[in-house]
Amino acid sequence: MSFRDEALKIRSLAMQHQKFFSESIPLIASENIMSPLAMEMLTTDLGFRYAEGLPHHRYYQGNSFVDEIEDLTTDLGKRLFQSAYCDPRPISGTNANTSVIYGLMKPGDKVAAPDLAGGGHISAASFGAVGLRGLKILNYPFDPETMTVLPDESSRMIVKEKPKVCLFGQSVFLFPTPLKEMEDAFQEAGSRVWYDGAHVLGLIAGKRFQQPLREGAEIITGSTHKTFPGPQRGIILGNTGEDIWKKIQRGVFPGTISNHHLNSMAALGVTMAEELEFGEKYAAAIIENSRTLAETLHSEGIKVLGESRGFTESHTLVADVRVNGGGRKVAEDLEKSGIIVNKNLLPGDTSKDSQNPSGIRIGTQEITRIGFTKNDVMDLGRLIAQVIKGNKSPDYAREEARSMKGKFRAVKYCYGKMDPYRYIEIFGE
């Protein structure tokens, strides 16, 4: 095989991937698609350039337009999240987290964070960014049914242990964190409060979840491609003192990044403008679809966590499928059926279960983005349940999923309309 053939092989695989998703129903809770205007930014010359440092204080020439773009993006972020500060430079959510870790903490400091089994994120685990920084990790007590931090028990732990930073934020985020209920504990312990809003950033922007900066948090980090429908990168927001903010910014550059991917920063700015206009309606539709899907699965006999509180108040729902063969089997059967979810650890699963956990995690933000409404989600929920219970073969279900997906070919809640799989039509196979 020649080098040209290898290059064309890569392109062919990318087109096959594109076709696969054009015919599949995406329900991964950490993914989304961008608007046509935001996507256009990725194809510009910005993607080839460098802009180290802050606007108007660069280490490279040729950044006059970049400075304007970054100023606009920063200002849009402040307005959207009603924050004193915004840094749009992190290139991922974990990069944003690492920047805050370097800015606020040193090895040996205590940090409190959600446990992985309670929906916590790997960046706050012993083998993630927090652990690699040499921090001492304390895990909050949590309710295994709702995977939500227990405020009274956690408050007692915070007062006793006095962590330097209390981190909240999860990769399974069903319900808001009870920040207000722990406010006295934060003050008594002298702990800074940091909220990792990666999964729910779009719901925060759309004022349909909670508002952490008005509930006791000083810092919000997040990734910008989940419920927030932008490019794959990160963001840091803050209502903290200028001295603390400068430390965090140094954690970004030169602490953890050099250049900050200027084309996706421009795409982030476009998405922020769209969220200011469409974000509230989009967030409300996401949550309605998530609850509808949870209720449908429950009515079909699938065990969905959080029943006592209405299953979910976010984009995410979690199903316990151990009686159906476990998370790995169910996720693989659904993938064969053209329905893309991920296997997920549930409370009670041990570390050795990570590749064969008890649950699956489902997110509705991407199907909402392409136009699924309540009735569509009910049809989808019934199809998912039939596959999980073994009442429909993956081959049969795949044709049904392909037909269902074919009705949705445009991105909503944004400027302009676009088939997100248009490159197949432009380039072919």
Residue 349 confidence class, pLDDT cut points 50, 70, 90: confident
Closest to 195 measured CA to CA, from 182, 184, 31, 298:
182
Q: Return the bridge partners of 166, or none.
A: 112, 193
pLDDT band at 423 (very low <50, low <70, confident <90, very high): low
Contacts of 189 (CB under 8 A, 6+ apart): 158, 159, 161, 162, 163, 166
State the fold for domain 39-272: Aspartate Aminotransferase; domain 2 (3.40.640)
Provide the pLDDT confidence category of residue 429 given band limits of 50, 70 and 90. Answer: very low
Determine the pLDDT at residue 424: 54
Beta-strand relationship, 142-143 and 219-223: unpaired
pLDDT of residue 354: 77
CATH number of 279-427: 3.90.1150.10
Mean pLDDT, the chain, rounded, equals 94
Q: Are 271 and 202 in contact (CB under 8 A)?
A: no
Q: What is the DSSP letter of 117?
A: G
Q: What is the pLDDT of residue 418?
A: 72
d(CA 266, CA 41): 6
Give the CA distances from residue 51 to residues 39, 93, 224, 260, 306, in Å, rounded to whole numbers and listed in that order: 20, 20, 20, 7, 46
Mean of pLDDT values over 108-128: 82
Asked if residue 324 lies in contact with residue 297, where contact means CB atoms within 8 angstroms, the answer is no
Pairing of strands 359-363, 110-113: unpaired
Q: What is the tens place of the pLDDT at every residue in 293-314?
A: 999 999 999 999 999 999 999 9
Give the tens place of pLDDT for each residue, 382-403. Answer: 999 999 999 999 999 999 999 9
Domain boundaries, the chain: 39-272, 279-427
- The band of 150, judged by pLDDT with boundaries at 50, 70 and 90, is very high
Beta strands in 297-351 (DSSP E): 303-304, 316-320, 339-340, 342-344
Give the three-state DSSP class for 25: strand
Provide the pLDDT for residue 227.
Answer: 98
Triad 9, 425, 230: Cα angle to 5°: 85
The C-alpha atoms of residue 170 and residue 331 are separated, in whole angstroms, by: 21
* 39-272 and 279-427 have identical folds: no
Mean pLDDT of 315-329: 97
CA angle 262/266/267 to nearest 5° reads 115
Please tell me the distance from the alpha carbon of residue 67 to that of residue 62, in angstroms, as a whole number. 10
Higher-confidence residue: 323 or 429?
323
Distances (CA, A) of 49 to 52, 76, 258, 262: 10, 23, 12, 7
Q: Show the tokens assigned to 428.
A: 């072919």
The tokens for 300 are: 């079909």
Question: Can you tell me the mean pLDDT for 142-169?
Answer: 96
Does pLDDT of 351 surpass 90?
Answer: no
**Tokens 């049914």 correspond to what residue?**
145
Instruction: Tell me the three state secondary structure of residue 226.
Output: coil
Measured CA to CA, the distance from residue 37 to residue 16 in angstroms comes to: 24
Is 50 exceeded by the pLDDT of residue 421? yes
Q: Check residue 21 and give its pLDDT.
A: 95
Per-residue model confidence (pLDDT) at position 352: 65
CA distance 21 to 12: 14
The model's pLDDT over 32-55, given as tens digits with 9 standing for 90+, comes to 999 999 999 999 999 999 999 999
